[in-house]
């Protein structure tokens, strides 16, 4: 250790620290570029593999392995889109609609399979069509306890038996988990305790998938910038 007091007063060389900071910034910059790309590629490949299962509907001589001698990824996606379009065209005409209705009536009578099909049918019609309001409104509710808020989606507001037996005007809210929003909790909340948000469903899912890191902008924020929270009755 040097006894020279002048050396102790001289500024220390921080170049190694600066280099380490620069390397860290470069590494983070690279991760910010590649992580979204890798996640997107993984999701696309996962969906493509699922849709490629539609190739099994083709006769073996018509499959890519027989025609081209190798597996061609992505052809199942094209086949699935064509199949969906063809099915939609058939269902929308009078004869096709009656035929599908007859098949659905037959399937609903099969034990075990019938209830599953009926539930999936009702869910699909509710979510994919404009007839219902399910998953169209983002809300926050106090869950899992008072004073703690969670993001949810209104799934139903017509709960006749529940409203009659609870003597309250309740709303059915789906509170998803994160980062996997396909699972969650169904809770029945009094309507006056549900806070409706201006946030879109897409923005809400982005927030859930990123663990709250990506916070969407408030679309209808007051011009003066002051918050006006909705009051929740105790």
Give pLDDT tens digits for 21-33. 888 888 988 888 8
In a domain, residue 118? The reply is no
What's residue 49's pLDDT? 84
Q: How many domains does the chain have?
A: 1
In the predicted structure, residue 230 carries a pLDDT above the cut 80? no
- Who has greater pLDDT, 192 or 43? 192
In a domain, residue 125? The reply is no
Q: At 228, list the tokens.
A: 């006006």
In a domain, residue 177? The reply is yes
What's residue 227's pLDDT? 57
* Residue percentage of the chain with pLDDT more than 90: 14
pLDDT digits (tens, 9 = 90+) for 117-171: 887 877 776 666 665 566 778 999 999 998 899 999 998 888 888 888 888 889 9
What's residue 126's pLDDT? 64
What's residue 100's pLDDT? 81
In a domain, residue 187? The reply is yes
In a domain, residue 171? The reply is yes
What's residue 174's pLDDT? 93
In a domain, residue 164? The reply is yes
User: Is residue 154 a contact partner of residue 139, using CB atoms and an 8 Å limit?
Assistant: yes
Is 0.95 surpassed by the pTM of this model? no
pLDDT digits (tens, 9 = 90+) for 15-62: 777 878 888 888 988 888 898 899 888 888 888 888 888 888 888 888
> Structural domain of residue 152, as residue ranges?
138-209
Question: CA distances (Å), 167 to each of 77, 154, 162, 164, 190, in order?
Answer: 50, 20, 8, 5, 10
In a domain, residue 130? The reply is no
In a domain, residue 44? The reply is no
Q: Which of 202, 231, 233, 232 shows the shortest CA–CA distance to 219?
A: 202
User: Is residue 55 a contact partner of residue 64, using CB atoms and an 8 Å limit?
Assistant: yes
Three-class SS state of 116: helix
């Amino acid at each position: 250790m040097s006894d020279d007091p002048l050396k102790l007063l001289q500024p220390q060389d921080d170049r190694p620290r600066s280099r380490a900071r620069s390397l860290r910034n470069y590494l983070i910059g690279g991760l910010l570029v590649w992580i979204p790309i890798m996640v997107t590629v993984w999701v696309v490949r996962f969906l493509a593999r699922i849709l490629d299962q539609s190739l099994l509907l083709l006769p073996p001589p018509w499959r890519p392995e027989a025609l081209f001698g190798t597996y061609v990824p992505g052809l199942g996606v094209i086949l699935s889109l064509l199949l969906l379009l063809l099915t939609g065209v058939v269902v929308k005409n009078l004869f096709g609609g009656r035929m599908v209705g007859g098949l659905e009536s037959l399937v609903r009578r099969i034990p075990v399979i019938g209830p599953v099909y009926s539930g999936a049918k009702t869910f699909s019609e509710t979510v994919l069509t404009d007839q219902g309001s399910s998953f169209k409104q983002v809300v926050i509710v106090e869950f899992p306890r008072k004073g703690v808020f969670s993001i949810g989606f209104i799934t139903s507001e017509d709960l006749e038996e529940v409203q009659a037996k609870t003597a309250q005007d309740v709303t059915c809210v789906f509170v998803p988990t994160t980062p996997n929003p396909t699972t969650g909790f169904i809770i029945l909340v009094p309507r006056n305790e549900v806070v409706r948000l201006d946030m879109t469903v897409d923005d809400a899912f982005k927030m859930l998938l990123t663990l709250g890191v990506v916070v969407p902008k408030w679309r209808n924020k007051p011009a003066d910038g002051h918050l006006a929270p909705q009051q929740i009755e105790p």
